[in-house]
Amino acid sequence: MKIISNPLELKEYLKDIDKSVGFVPTMGALHEGHLSLIKKARKENELVVVSIFVNPTQFLKGEDLDKYPRKDEADKKICLLAGVDVLFFPHKKDIYGDDEAKIEAPNVRGYVLEGATRVGHFSGVLTVVMKLLNIVSPTRAYFGKKDAQQLNLIGLMVKQFFMSVEIVAVDTLRESDGLAMSSRNIYLSSEQRVEALKISLSLQKAFGMVNQNILDVSKIKEQMRTVLEPLEVSYVEVLNRDFAPIESIELKNSIILVEAKVGDTRLLDNIWL
Ligand code: AMP
């Protein structure tokens, strides 16, 4: 496995490689969820590139940038064992200069849900993803459905900027009790870990209601909020795959999304129906 931190060196290395390239961008502290993206990339491409970069521009002032978990050595081992060909490990100065052009998230989709409370977050995400995709020029790039809004906005950017990469959406990997895997789960105390289960339980409740043919979104949201009590809920939303709100579940075209705070930790989860 090659480890490269300089973007121009990576571009140079990939320039003459006549192979399909699968790319998995991450912020490190790798877990099984990340690994499922890497495995899929490994299966579908001749060469696999993983990046680890805790992107400062997607953190708001007062968020957890400084204490975001960093596990560089363990991450390198995980990538090596997973058969990653190139690990891109840039420093901040390799990615950002002083006076920067940036991608602005779309006015509507970028500023609802997570974007409503984390104003500017998705502009930071899109800017770094644009940079990373330009550095790697992959055939396919892999993103988790867990970050559904991020995935949707990246798909939109790729389409609207006429980029050639194929965006591949990967299912959410969960702990055996249902909690969606996340690098931020390590912030949870054992009591909070139990409380956090309410998030996936609320989605299971919604799933059960849909199975009983209860498709009315306001009823579903109400029941979900009951399951989520007493967590501080940022939103419970039901959208179609184009990210527009709907009043009744449309099968094969709906996403139910939740964001709630457990202690100081903001956790996201969703199901795709
Ligand atoms: P992060 O390091 O949190 O920025 O995540 C890197 C990529 O892994 C993103 O595309 C995430 O959506 C994806 N990801 C994070 N958690 C999971 C999970 N539990 N299952 C599948 N993909 C995930």
Q: Which CATH architecture has domain 183-272?
A: 2-Layer Sandwich (3.30)
152 lines ligand 1 (CB under 6 A): no
Same topology between domain 2-170 and domain 183-272: no
**How high is the pLDDT of residue 125?**
98
Torsion of CA 141, 147, 149, 153, to 10 degrees: -20
Domain ranges of the chain: 2-170, 183-272
Question: pLDDT of 136-189, one tens digit each?
Answer: 999 999 999 999 999 999 999 999 999 999 999 999 999 999 999 999 999 999
Query: Domain 2-170: which topology?
Result: Rossmann fold (3.40.50)
Task: For 114-160, give the DSSP string.
Answer: HHHHSTTHHHHHHHHHHHHHHHH--SEEEEEGGGHHHHHHHHHHHHH
Closest CA to 88 of 18, 149, 144, 138: 138
Q: Is 34 a catalytic residue?
A: yes
Q: Is the CB–ligand 1 distance for residue 180 below 6 Å?
A: yes
Whether ligand 1 lies within 6 angstroms of the CB of 26 is answered as yes
**Average pLDDT for the chain:** 97
Integer-rounded Cα radius of gyration of the chain = 19
With contact defined as beta carbons under 8 Å apart, do 51 and 28 qualify? no
Q: Which of 202, 203, 47, 59 is nearest to 119 (CA)?
A: 59
pLDDT at 32: 97
Per-residue confidence at 56, pLDDT binned at 50, 70, 90?
A: very high
Instruction: Pick the atom of ligand 1 nearest to 181's CA.
Output: 19
The 232-240 sheet, strands edge to edge: 232-240, 254-262, 265-272
Per-residue confidence (pLDDT) for residue 249, from 0 to 100? 97
Q: Ligand 1 test: best mutation among 37, 71, 181, 265, most atoms within 8 Å of CB?
A: 37
How far apart CA 260 and CA 233 sit, in angstroms, is 4
Digit-coded pLDDT (tens) for 203-231: 999 999 999 999 999 999 999 999 999 99
Rounded to whole angstroms, how far apart are CA atoms 260 and 238?
A: 15
266: left (phi over 0), alpha (psi -120 to 50) or beta: beta
Are 56 and 37 within 8 A, CB to CB?
no
* C-alpha to C-alpha distance for 211 and 215, rounded to whole angstroms: 9
Atom 5 (ligand 1) nearest CA: 26
In the prediction, which pLDDT does 83 show? 98
